[in-house]
Structure formats: structure tokens, C-alpha cells
Amino acid sequence: MNQSSANTTVYLEQIPASKTVIYPQHLKGHFDGRTKRRLGDAVGMKNFGVNLTTLGPGAWSAHRHWHTRQDEMIYLIEGELTLVTDSGRQVLKPGAVVGFPANSGEGHNLVNTGTGDAVYMEIGDRLPGDEVFYPDVDLMAKQNTPSYKFTRNDGSEF
């Protein structure tokens, strides 16, 4: 065992709440009420990400999407969310755990259709070569470490 590695302890209030949206400008609607605290990054995680996300009323987690390589999971801590998938809509209550396996082709997103904030943990791996498909908008993304490069579905630039 390597004794030179150190544990990192950070308290939530030390982690900035980001409202950054990385989509192209014309697709940034629906996200004004979303904030993320990048917990995994704050403690040096490299192989997977963990975010504490808050969605205000009416806010979306993302455009409905699916990943080719990245597994995702969410755990709802507080509030109520509507999970939107190819199969329909499902209301989630605190304690719900939902997984989105890589390459399922099942588009998903979360929408806060309630009147109060919803808070959840999102966890995903960081395998190289991931691509993301957005079935409701003319958008795809290819991993361009550490982020993603967005194009139209035909590969043309915005």
C-alpha cells in the first residue's frame, strides 16, 4: 500500500456552487435554477465524478440524453423530481436511487415540476471516449477531456 497518498477532507460550504451550463448558447434555457457542487473534484477524485445538484422549481438537470461509455446514478435527497425517459415520466421522492447504464440508448433527464428545491447526488464514471446523444435536440457531444465538445448531430459546428 502506498503510504504517501493523503486523504482530503472538505466541508460542503467550502465547495463553490456553480451555475455554469456548458451547452451551446441557444440550448441553455431551462437551467437558470440549477446549481452544482463538484464534490468529487473537491477531494481529488479522478476516475469518477460526484456532484451535489440543486434544481429550483422548473429547472432541468440536463437535456434528455444518454452516454455511450459513462454509467450514471442519482440519489434524491430532498424534494421531488420528475424523471423523463423514453418510457415516459416517473415522479421521484426522497430516497429514490436511479441508475442509467452506459450505452442503453434510453434518454433521460430530471425536471423539478414541484414548488420547492430538489437536491440530489449524481455520480458518474469518467471512462475515456464517451459520446453523448440528445434525442430531443440537434446535439451530440464527444469527450474532450476534461469536458465535452458539442456539435450538431451531423458533426457540424455551432
Q: Which CATH architecture has domain 26-128?
A: Sandwich (2.60)
Contact 108, 85 (CB under 8 A): yes
pTM of the model: 0.91
Instruction: Give 2's pLDDT tier (boundaries 50, 70, 90).
Output: very low
* Residue 156: other Cβ atoms inside 10 A: 8
Q: Which residue has the higher pLDDT, 156 or 5?
A: 156
pLDDT-above-70 percentage for the chain:
96
Instruction: Give 7's pLDDT tier (boundaries 50, 70, 90).
Output: confident
